[in-house]
Each structure stands twice: as structure tokens, then as C-alpha cells.
Structure 1
Amino acid sequence: MSEGGRRAGDVSSEHGLLWEVLQEASQGGKRFRPRLLTDTHDALDGDQHQAAAQVGAAVELLHTALVVHDDVIDDDHVRRGRPNVSGTYRGLAEVSGADGATADGYGQAAAILAGDLALAGAVRAVATCGADTATTHRLLDLLDTALHVSAAGELADVRHGLGLATASLQESLRVAEQKTAAYSFSLPLQAGAVLAGADEDVVAELGEAGRRLGTAFQLVDDLVGVFGDVAASGKSSTGDLRTAKQTPLVVYARGTHDGQQIDHYLGRDLDACELAAARDLLTACGARDWVRNRARQELAAARAVTDPLGISLSGLGPLTGWDAALPQDDPGAVA
């Protein structure tokens, strides 16, 4: 968190507590976004190490903002095995005697405001990174694009979850691409290249590589969201099914004869037996294998760009949950 943000925490005790909870929400995780940015900058012989570190921190703060808001959208109150911002404030309200609905509203309000603070902090960190004016403007343009694309993907994801229309596989893949790729992969790859003074064609190629990486990441996240170990991933294994997300995993299943019954398990809480039945269905109809193989293809396409530039992606395997979601039948798939 920035020094300016810490000073802002002195506005009032209420705001100070909100800032502390936001700081807690920003802890943990693998920090692969700043690492990807600085690795790209260094691989392209950049010499703006301080600026790269600050912009990398900004991207991670942006991630915190979007995660906090995403939990509000999904009505989730736990993140990484502990209460998130909305869950923390909901608990505070309940302790004070608020009923369930009132406590939920308080938690959601706090999370929206905390996410707004994190988002403002991310923009400020980029704007004050110390790069020259033209480079800073280019970085802000990249940040702006990432925000617009991510917002479009998140809203499309919610719309598909309304159940008013069935998403096509292409539409579902597009959401997977937009929700994650723009800010988690394209942005750090391209920002690192811009800070290194790379040619625009290289910046554009890395944007495409980021799109591919983000799609692979989201596909694996979809697998972990149903098949993963909750203790290992910190992600609910029923949340995606409960919110009726039209992920590629679900959309593919609907298009098969054996997987059409998947709708029976969507839009409601599942007990352990029902979750096991849903997993069996998604496996038997081939949806799990299709998503796994498509993720591998996207990762290979990204590597065709990053490997010749010397940008290592070796740290992304365990991070994205490959170990939990994929059988160990291809040890070299994410090496």
C-alpha cells in the first residue's frame, strides 16, 4: 500500500479499520503478476527497475481491487480460507446485533468501498512510477484498456449466469479470456515491455500471448472451481455451480448427450454427494478433458511468443492449480 494510502487511513477510525482490512485482503497469493512484469522487463534488457517494481505492485493492487469486487458480485464471503472484506464486515455487523440481511448489506458496502480504494491506489502507483511522461501515459492506457476489458468480461459472466439464454462455447471462452487475461497477463507482459523500451510489435505480440495465458489460467481455474481440493486452492468447489456460471466446462457438457443433465446441479447449494455426481457427469461427458486440453493448447501458443524472448513461465504451473486439476499424465505440460 502506498504512503498516501496509509495517511488516508487517518481520516477516521472507521476508515482506518477499512484500510486495515483492505491491507489484509492484499496479503497472500503468489504475486505472479508483478513477477511476470519484472521478468519481462529484465528479459528485454530494461533498466527501469524501480519503476517496474512499482508498476508491478500497482498491477497486484489492481488484482486486489477486482477480487474484492468480484466477491461482492458472487456473494462470496471467504477468500484464501479466511473471511474476505465483505465477510469480515458482515461478521462485525452480526456481533453488533444486526440481522442477516442487514449484516450482508454492510459487508457488501464495505467491500465495494475497499475495492474502490485499491483501484484508486493502483492508478496512483502507475502515475507516480517515475517513468518519463510518454511511457507513463502508455502505461496508463494499458491499465485503462485492461479495466474496460475486465469489466466487460465480468458483466458478461454475470449475464450468462442469469439463465436467460444459453451461452455458446465461443461466448464462454470469450468471457474466460476477458475476465482474467487483460489485467493478469496482457497488462504485466505489455507494461514490462513498455518500460524496457520494446518495439510496439513486441508489445502487441505480448498482448496476444497474455490473452492466451489468461484463457489457460481461467480454464484451469474453472476446473479447480469444481474438481480442486478446497484446502489446497482456497477456492470453493461448489461456488461456480451454485452461481450457475456458464463456464466452458459447463457449456461443453451441455452440448453432449451425456452431460445435458448438468443443469440439475446449477443454481443451488450442493451437498457432498451431489457435488460428486456433478463431477462424475462432467468427467464422463468429456468436458473435463476438453477444458484441460484446451488450456494446454492456449499455454503452448503463449509460450511460442514468450520463450524466444527469454520470458520464463515456469512459475505459473503450481500457481494456476495444474497440480490439483490435471492428472499427472503429462509431467512436461507446464514445466
Structure 2
Amino acid sequence: MSLPSHSPAQTSSPPASMESGALQQRVRRRLVAIIHEHRDAAGAYSTATQTLWSRIELALEGGKLTRPRLVLLGHEAFAARTEQGTAPEDGLERVIQMGCAFELLHGSLLMHDDVIDRDFTRRGRPTLSALYRDDALARGKSAQDAEHAGHSAAIIAGDLLLAAAIKLARRAADSLPAADAIEDSFHQGIHHAGAGELEDLLFSLDPVPAQVHEVLRMEKLKTAAYSFQVPLHTGALLAGADAAEAAALANIGSQLGVAYQLIDDILGTFGDPEQTGKSIESDLREGKSTILTAMAAATPGFAAHLQLFRDPDANVPAMRSALEATGAERFARQLAQDLCAGATSASRTLNLPDRVSSELEGFADLILNRGA
């Protein structure tokens, strides 16, 4: 799953307030404590699972903690007028718990993503899959059996993280009037991510790229929902926003999330790997349907090049040149700009606190200038 913050080169962040900086520190400490709690508990019944949790901790190190920051923004968008009489620390504690829940969910999806994409490196380091693969190789297993062992361990780790994420999200909402709505929103993010991943997989099996509206739907499901839309939505609900207000803020997140993935598609084909840390061949070689291939496929005369995109031995520079000639990159960047403009315009109509609007605009600027 091509999700935000996969590479060490993508370390820029939108302007952060002292509040969000302090939040990130607390989220990091809490995540370590949660993982250690599960690791220590596993020691009572399975030393192998205790080791698995230690390796999970290594795999989850780093990252920009974008999702917890969005939960905080969603909360701050409405907290000032909805939490009179409520201790500020109680609201922040719920934000921390929900932010950790999203990071555990993100880790779960990344573990499963490594299996789907058959990857053994992430952020320039061996994945958890690679560690168990290498263990199997050291025991004399064949390369095929060792890779199977590695991917199997990653599936198990992803399942454990998913269970922990769901439990923590429910705890963050416990006793609030909107508890059920918050839980439903978190579950929706999970289901949408799975649906988007499935569509991405099935599109790669088709003889022609998916259409533009299909790719946009897939990217909204796969990336925008759990990484942008639902963090803002649950943060708003934690603060006591009503359903319509929370949904309006969530829609801003959806637009930003789709724009992020559009730029990610562009960087996956035309970016500089030295700056982005992303391969510019994998999407093309795997026959993925991206906004670029979808836009190009709708261009007259491009049909003659379609066989390139289903040939694993095709010349990648030739594929890239064929895409470039259609103007797909230009169109995709314009679409991302339109989405970000729509998001920032909508944030102003909601009369959000100035700092919240400013940070949302910072996210939009970061999205559009990634890899620049």
C-alpha cells in the first residue's frame, strides 16, 4: 500500500505549533509503552511472540506522526467551544490515545502491504518480513520457503497491530456521547483501506489501466480515508463536534489525502529517487493503475503503448516517455492543486480557528511541493 511517509527522504513537515510538537513526543512515548506492554504480556505465554513485538517496535520507529497531528487538528477545530467545563488534559489524553491507534493501524497496514508488494525493505531498512526471511535462510530453508516465512510473520504482526489499534481507538472514545460514531468512523477507515487495496490489486490484473474516476475512487479509499479523512473526523468527534461539522472537516481531509496520493503517483514515475526515496520503476513494472496511466489511457493514440504496461520486461524509460508525451503529469498536478485549493477554501468557510486553518494550508503546501 503506497501510503504517506514511507521513505527517509520525505521528512519535511508542515509548520507545527508547540502543542503539536509536544503531542508528537507524547505519542512516541506512549507507542513505546503500548508495544512494551504487549511484548511483556506475550512473554508469559510465547517467547516467539515476545520477540515478534520487539521486532514490531523496530519496524515502527521513525515516521512523521502525521495522523496524530491530524487528530489534534480535528480536536482543536472544535474544542474551544465544546469543552467548557472539561479538563483540557482529558481531551489531550483522548487525542493521544486516538493518535496512537492510527499509528498502530498504519503499522498494521504497512506490514500487510509488504506482503502484497513482496517488499523486503522500507525506509531504507530491512522489513520485519526480511528479518524472518533471513532467520529461515540461516536455518537452511530455500529462498522460496524463507520468503514465505517472512511474509507469514508480517501477516501475523499486522493482525496483532490491528487488534491493538481497534482496542485503543475504542478506549479513546470511552464514555463520550459520540463513542459509537467514533468507533464506526475508525472501522470505516479500516474497511475503506482494505477496499482500496483490493481494487488496486485487481486493477493491476486488467489488460488496460483503470479509468480516471476508478483510480480516484481507489486512492480515496486506500490512502485518503485512514490517513487524512478519519483522523480529522474522529478528532472533531472527540471534541464534541456535531455530525455535520465533523463530516465537513473530514471532507477536507479526503481532498488532501487524494491530492497526496496523486503527487505520490507522479513521484513514483517522474520523481528523483535521491530526493524522494521512491523507486521510479516499481509502479510501472508492476502494472499499477495510477492517475498517470489512467489519464494517458484516455488520450487518443496511447493505445499503441498499452502493451508496454503489461510486459514485465518492458523498457521503463520507453514507458515513462510514452506517459510524458500525453501530458499526464501536468494534468495530474493540476488536479492535485484543484483538490488542495478546494480543501483550503472549505476550511475557511467552516470558520475554523486561525491556527487550524493555517496548519491545514501547510499540509496542502507540503503535498504540492513534495519532491520539489
The Cα shift of 1:153 comes to: 0.9
Matches within 5 A, 1:222-241: 222-241=265-284
CA distance in 1, matches of 2:352, 2:311: 44
Normalized against structure 1, the TM-score is what?
A: 0.88
The Cα shift of 1:4 comes to: 3.8
The Cα shift of 1:166 comes to: 4.4
Matches within 5 A, 1:47-58: 47=88, 48-58=91-101
CA distance in 1, matches of 2:280, 2:59: 21
Unaligned ranges ≥5, structure 1:
327-335
Is 1:303–2:344 an aligned residue pair? yes
CA distance in 1, matches of 2:292, 2:323: 8
Contact 2:70/2:232, CA 8 A, preserved across alignment: yes
Instruction: Pick which of 186-195 and 236-245 moved more.
Output: 236-245
Is 1:24–2:67 an aligned residue pair? no
Tell which has more relative contact order, 1 or 2 (C-alpha 8 A, sep 6+).
2
Instruction: Sort the Cα spacing of 1:63 and 1:269 in 2 relative to 1 into closer, same or farther, 3 A.
Output: farther
CA offsets 1:52-77 (integer angstroms, 9 cap, x no match): 11101111111111111112111122
Secondary structure in structure 2 of the residue aligned to 1:309: coil
Instruction: Sort the Cα spacing of 1:315 and 1:107 in 2 relative to 1 into closer, same or farther, 3 A.
Output: farther
Is 1:264–2:297 an aligned residue pair? no
* % identical aligned pairs: 37
Matches within 5 A, 1:183-198: 183-198=226-241
In structure 2, the residue matched to 1:213 is 256
Count of aligned pairs between the two proteins: 322
Runs of 4+ in structure 1 deviating by more than 4 angstroms, as ranges, are 317-321
CA distance in 1, matches of 2:273, 2:41: 36
In structure 2, the residue matched to 1:333 is none
In structure 2, the residue matched to 1:69 is 112
The Cα shift of 1:265 comes to: 4.3
In structure 2, the residue matched to 1:322 is 369
The Cα shift of 1:314 comes to: 4.5
CA distance in 2, matches of 1:88, 1:228: 29
CA offsets 1:189-233 (integer angstroms, 9 cap, x no match): 001100111121111112221221111111111112122233433
Matching residue within 141, 149, 158 for 1:115 = 158
CA distance in 2, matches of 1:71, 1:269: 22
The one-letter code matched in structure 2 to 1:6 is: R
CA distance in 1, matches of 2:124, 2:301: 34
- Quote the RMSD (CA, aligned, Å): 2.2
CA distance in 2, matches of 1:71, 1:313: 30
Unaligned ranges ≥5, structure 2:
1-30
Is 1:140–2:183 an aligned residue pair? yes
Contact 1:225/1:235, CA 8 A, preserved across alignment: yes
In structure 2, the residue matched to 1:93 is 136
Matching residue within 272, 275, 278 for 2:319 = 278
